[in-house]
Amino acid sequence: MASILVVDDELSMREFLTIFLEKLGHSVISAANGEKAMVMAQEHPVDLVISDIRMPGMSGLDLLARLKAQKPELAFILITAFASPEDAVLAMKNGAFDYITKPFNVDEVRRIIQAALEKKQSQAAEPIDDFPEIIGQSPEMMKIFDLIKRVAPTPANVLIYGESGTGKELVAQAIHNRSQVARKPFVPIICSAIPETLLESELFGHVKGSFTGAIADKPGLFQLASGGTAFLDEIGELTPLIQTKLLRVLQEREFMPVGSTKTVQLNARIITATNRILEQEIIAGNFREDLYYRLAVVPIRLPSLRERAGDIPLLVDYFLKKYSERLGTPMPPMSSYGMEVLMQYDFPGNVRELENIIERGVAMSSSNIILPDNLILSSHRRKQNSAATTAAAALEPASPTAPEPARPDAARPDLGSGPAAGAGAGHSPADKPEQEIFLAAHSEAELYERGLDEVLEQLERRLILHALAKADNSKTRAAELLKLSFRSLRYKTKKLGID
Ligand SMILES: Nc1ncnc2c1ncn2[C@@H]1O[C@H](COP(=O)(O)OP(=O)(O)OP(=O)(O)O)[C@@H](O)[C@H]1O
């Protein structure tokens, strides 16, 4: 099951493709133009885009070029009523997977979609070549990769900051691995995990007999990292005393092990990390400004996962692969609702939390697909009425249990005679039991996962879309059907982002 974005300025074509793709088991969203599609592709997890080429405003080819620049992993199929070989060449050159012409042959369309999704699936879990260990293709991560590449070959001290679990240690290691001292040791130390009395010895080492328990000479972090990189994590937790000692070491490029009278040269690159905002700690008098400037020659701020939510599907695939391999089971796909739940979650614990959620999901999934029930999230941190939720859901087509919109037969292309031909033809909403048509939560778990407000909002949206489809998109008529004033319906459609 994949998440597909259909882009066509013709309503009948969008509706037709939506129904056809849903019958194939995919989850579908649609947009009437390239501009809307750009927004939706940012805000919604999308595996495949199927777009018309000729549309007013942004053409399908422009959309392809722009989306591919932002999300190279996206599968893309272009459709046109005019079979022009120039368009076909351009489409393929710009990275479209394939190109189909109207009228469709249903088997052909199904085959192309299947092949595009299979190709994407095989590529999805491949991290980008330059940074195989760091997953992310968002513009935010591209900036980080660029910074890593530029700073790695230099000896500059780097301060990496960002929320817990954003990958600070991963980035520190990546800088070391691409530095000129990559073959030398990378030695991490978590400053907050060691009491002040021991930290000095851990950093600078000690000589035998320097304190009770010092039964032999012991090298500290800076000696162990000699020639390589010393990584000091949670630097914001250092006490004033250790801050002063560290500053002196950085100024003089030498230090003295505890109890020793001999100085040792500092011969390691220093990378530090913190989840605090050190500028604020300086103002509050908790962190030395002079030390900060020594450490943060190059500061790198890692974005939270919320800020780069577009990377979530890629990370999900990566962790699904990692943990299913570890368990020796086939890689289970994430259900599209499961992915939607993840896309709307805040991730206070960032990538580390996502990794834990997927690890548990893989272990707990009894079927061959990960369902929302298998994802344990702290529900109070769900994004509330986020733009993503609203925009995506506003244009979200009816799910298999939702009302089918009107489909003018005249605009329906030739579907051939496959099983999906004329999908849904002849079904009016009245053919289905009412509770099924107007259902917004499909299970108790879904209701409690999403909460009443969200479920009611989705239900309201579906009912309005249903009335609009029944009224051939006339708001006046839809308002009459729903026994609302025109103004009230207009207010609601605006609020729900239906336009
Ligand atoms: N971009 C990423 N791609 C793949 N895995 C990631 C990414 N970012 C973080 N991780 C994984 O998330 C976990 C936490 O990462 P890491 O320890 O580097 O975070 P951190 O910011 O240093 O956390 P803390 O502030 O708590 O020390 C690790 O298992 C790491 O491999």
Reported as a single tens digit per residue, the pLDDT across 91-122 is: 666 667 777 777 777 888 888 888 888 877 76
Closest residue CA from atom 25 of ligand 1: 164
CA of 309 to the centre of ligand 1 (A): 15
CA of 134 to the centre of ligand 1 (A): 9
Residues of the chain with pLDDT below 50 are 125-128, 380, 384-437
| Sheet (strand 158-161) strand order | 186-190, 229-233, 269-274, 158-161, 298-301
- Tell me what pLDDT residue 123 has: 62
pLDDT in tens, 343-362: 888 899 999 999 999 999 88
Residue with tokens 């309005």: 464
CA of 216 to the centre of ligand 1 (A): 35
Where exactly are the structural domains of the chain?
139-301
CA distance 441 to 219: 61
Residue 404 CB–ligand 1 contact under 6 Å:
no
Mutating to test ligand 1, I would choose from 352, 353, 357 the residue with most ligand atoms within 8 A of its C-beta, which is: 352
Query: Residue 221 in contact with residue 189, Cβ under 8 Å?
Result: yes
ipTM of the complex: 0.98
CA distance 306 to 381: 11
Query: Ligand 1: which atom is nearest the Cα of residue 274?
Result: 25
- Tell me what pLDDT residue 57 has: 83
Task: Provide CB contacts within 8 A for 437, sequence distance 6+.
Answer: 401, 402, 403, 429, 466
- Tell me what pLDDT residue 376 has: 81
Mutating to test ligand 1, I would choose from 141, 144, 170 the residue with most ligand atoms within 8 A of its C-beta, which is: 170
CA of 187 to the centre of ligand 1 (A): 17
Residue 136 CB–ligand 1 contact under 6 Å:
yes
Correct CATH for 139-301 of 3.40.50.150, 3.40.50.2300, 1.10.3720.10, 3.40.50.300: 3.40.50.300
CA of 308 to the centre of ligand 1 (A): 14
**429 exposed, middle or buried (CB, 10 Å; 0-12, 13-18, 19+)?**
middle
Closest residue CA from atom 7 of ligand 1: 167
Residue 461 CB–ligand 1 contact under 6 Å:
no
- Tell me what pLDDT residue 406 has: 31
Radius of gyration of the chain (CA): 28
**Residue 374 vs residues 62, 75, 371: alpha-carbon distances, Å:** 39, 27, 5
Which region, left, alpha or beta, applies to residue 466 given φ > 0 means left and ψ of -120 to 50 means alpha? alpha
Q: Quick one: tokens of 475?
A: 């708001």
